Structure 1
């Protein structure tokens, strides 16, 4: 096989797999109707949408050439470390500090961004996270370590 567009092919297959998983797993919950949605409605619909989008990404990739896949293990490790840091520090440090630290560590995967840029991106992600989850969705999350 000459260099098919493996990056889009793999990405599309993974999107389809994740979408199918959520669409099928959410069948355990009541679906409801469009007028009166049950707890399974939203994940089912989004799962099927994600699965269809994955197919739309993967199919054209079968018929075009692309660059060879370049695995960047360091970037993967920075992102996984950021997720784990967030998970383990949310309760003890609060949403603001945990989000800032996780965003900063994830930004280390990008070698082109400056240190000031990392701080600004981390601050922006933190502000958006607080606005969406604490203000917009009214989720009960400790914002600071003294609230935890």
Structure 2
């Protein structure tokens, strides 16, 4: 007899609860509007429903999977948190390019696989996408490299 994967079942349940809480909070505190004229509560409500559906799918998928022994490591949590803090500090002081490079390089240190060249290419690609979307398409005013651009 195989045991179900209770970690995925629990995570799916948390997604369902968080999604439902988001949906009901948005419905009770914000105007939903209509599909053609969306109010401020429309997007959070849709996001809540989507999270709940995703949680249900994760829960259903965990029923047929044999539980695996998982090892716990603080390394991913440490480096991802550090990368977010570094991004928040660097975006204002140095600009978007150093902040995004620091974000990608620090967060990629949470795993031991991958090369530094690949990680740097990923950082530059993410910067390019951010530049195209935010600077060119949305015309947002942000500094690419403080003091230079």
TM-score range, shorter chain: 0.7 to 0.9
Uncovered stretches (5+) of structure 2, i.e. residues with no partner: none
**For residues 45-60 of structure 1, what are the structure 2 equivalents within 5 Å?**
45-60=46-61
**Bigger radius of gyration:** 2
Please tell me the root mean square deviation across aligned C-alpha atoms, in Å: 2.4
Aligned residues: 148
Q: Secondary structure in 2 aligned to 1:120?
A: helix
Distance 1:121 1:106 in 2: 12
Bigger mean CA offset, 14-23 vs 126-135 = 14-23
Map residues 62-81 of structure 1 onto 2, 5 A cutoff. 62-81=63-82
**Could you tell me how far apart the structure 1 residues matched to 2:100 and 2:45 are?**
28
Report if the CA contact (8 A) 1:26-1:44 is conserved: yes
TM-score by length of 2: 0.83
Q: What CA distance in whole angstroms lies between the structure 2 residues aligned with 1:85 and 1:24?
A: 34
CA 1:117–1:84 in 2, change beyond 3 Å: closer, same or farther? same
Structure 1 position 6 matched with structure 2 position 6: yes
Q: Distance in 2 between matches of 1:82 and 1:138?
A: 26
TM-score norm. by structure 1 comes to 0.84
